[in-house]
Structure 1
Amino acid sequence: MFGFDKMFDFNRDGRLNAFERAAQFQFMDNMMKSREADSFNDDDETDVFAEAGLDYDELEFMDPEERREVLEDAGLDPDEFDF
């Protein structure tokens, strides 16, 4: 039994039954989702682009020079954003 498995061995029999494995899986899945949400929190930038009439996804796939020009035309400083 691995160290992390012991945390989910609720009945302390040294093995994880189906319920205990499901609880472990659910816990890990929630941890991964919260990390993804933390690392992809671009809501503030998306709002800035939307207010300027730009689409974040389109900007993300543009050539860097084209994106720079579009941001400048929209009145935004291209150096403030990291794509």
Structure 2
Amino acid sequence: MANKATVAALRTRPERVLDDYARLIDLADVAAYLAPGSTTILKDNISWHFPFPAANTTPWQLEGTVRALRGHGL
């Protein structure tokens, strides 16, 4: 039987956005799919000369994700 995809979404605020990325990582159970000690590559989107909404990775997205993954030893 195939695994079903997990989708997690949160309404956030600027003062808690980094903590909410950690919560999203937990809700999606990412640690169950990434092996501690193995290399994990994050690909950010910086393909435009100007920052367009939904086209570029914002600094807080990258920082929140990196912090959350490191918190899980990944």
Q: TM-score, normalised to structure 1's length?
A: 0.25
Bigger Rg, which one: 1
RCO higher in structure (CA 8 A, sep ≥6): 2
